[in-house]
Amino acid sequence: MGKSIIKVNQLHKSYQMGTNSLHVLKGIDMDIREGEMVSIMGSSGSGKSTLLNIIGILDNYDKGEYYLNDILIQKMNEKKAAQFRNKYIGFIFQSFNLISFKNAIENVALPLYYQGVPRKKRNQMALEYLDRLGLKDWAEHTPAELSGGQKQRIAIARALISKPKVILADEPTGALDTQTSYEVMDILKEVNKSGITVIIVTHEHDISEMTHRVIRLTDGLIGSNIKNGIHQPTITITNN
Ligand code: ADP
Ligand code: MG
């Protein structure tokens, strides 16, 4: 197995709401290796999105350490966070998060726009990625004219265009029917085979079964580590 790409030590995160504090992550330990395809499972509200957003540098954590590609990721300004995201991370969401008034090419090309790639070059690259995902004929269409599966494939193309090391997918099949879900998972498997680390948050067992390793999140802690359907010794249980 490859080197560590995502390493999390004793990670804590609380949300403050007025005088109340909600302790969501209570000492998470996790080590994901380059080239792995991992799922993170847990019931609704268990902190899956919170954890994924911290890994994707969309949110800060309170305590602990997070290393991305051996670099300590700590409270950083938005500009620096965006640079790291651009270099390492591609995001895929349940609700696709496409821009409704832009066509498929423009949506896929968006990360390159933020990198300052000239329009002609970025549109040409976007078309290549759309072609790879079987959507060349839909390049000029807006999201409203596309099916859920097509929209998610556009979102995958957009995530891939900046050549990330890691794809983070938050319930990527949550809004799709079973067959379309499996098609999207087949694409993510291919993405993983190309060498990209893939982390999928899901609460669906059939989806998590398609990954190499399942990490369980229960009550803000990592529970048992399941590989090939066999329970491995628990990685960490921290009580507080
Ligand atoms: P999951 O993705 O596993 O369903 P989340 O990470 O979205 O869980 O949420 C974990 C808990 O934190 C939930 O109780 C949720 O209501 C709460 N939460 C999430 N985001 C915020 C926020 N921005 N402010 C306050 N509470 C939040
Ligand atoms: Mg969530």
Pocket test for ligand 1, best of 22, 171, 202 (most atoms within 8 A of CB): 22
* Pocket test residue of 14, 15, 208, 219 for ligand 1, highest count of atoms within 8 A of CB: 15
The Å distance, Cα 50 to ligand 1 centre, comes to 6
From the list 161, 162, 173, the residue with the least C-alpha distance to 200 is: 173
Q: Which ligand is nearest to the CA of 24?
A: 1
The whole-angstrom separation of Cα 210 and Cα 172 is: 13
Query: In terms of CATH, what superfamily is 36-60+77-232?
Result: P-loop containing nucleotide triphosphate hydrolases (3.40.50.300)
User: For ligand 1, atom 20, which residue shows the shortest CA distance?
Assistant: 50
For ligand 2, the distance from its centroid to the CA atom of residue 48, given in whole angstroms, is 5
pLDDT, one tens digit per residue, over 101-157 is: 999 999 999 999 988 999 999 999 999 999 999 999 999 999 999 999 999 999 999
Joined tokens for residue 123: 């549109």
pLDDT tier at 224, thresholds 50, 70, 90: low
User: To test ligand 1's pocket by mutation, which of 24, 53, 202 has the most ligand atoms within 8 angstroms of CB?
Assistant: 24
Say if residues 38 and 4 touch (Cβ distance below 8 Å): no
Helix (H) or strand (E) holding 96: none
Q: Tell me the one-letter amino acid at 227.
A: K
pLDDT score for 170: 97
- Protein residue closest via CA to atom 23 of ligand 1: 15
Atom from ligand 1 closest to the CA of residue 44: 4
Give the start-to-end residue ranges of the domains of the chain: 36-60+77-232
- Number of helices (H) and strands (E), helices first, in the chain? 7, 11
- Are 125 and 78 in contact by the 8 Å Cβ rule? The answer is no
Q: What is the mean pLDDT of residues 165-192?
A: 96
Sheet holding 89-93, edge to edge: 89-93, 166-170, 197-202, 37-41, 213-218, 221-227, 230-232
Helices assigned H by DSSP within 30-139: 48-55, 78-88, 104-114, 119-132
Q: Six-digit token pair at 53?
A: 């957003």
Strands (E), the chain: 4-17, 20-33, 37-41, 63-68, 71-72, 89-93, 166-170, 197-202, 213-218, 221-227, 230-232
- The dihedral formed by the CA atoms of 145, 181, 129 and 81, expressed in degrees to the nearest 10: 100
Q: Which residues surround ligand 2, an ion (CB under 5 A)?
A: 48-49
> What pLDDT shows up at residue 1?
66
Residues 5-47: tens digit of each pLDDT: 999 999 999 999 899 999 999 999 999 999 999 999 998 999 9
Q: What's the pTM?
A: 0.92
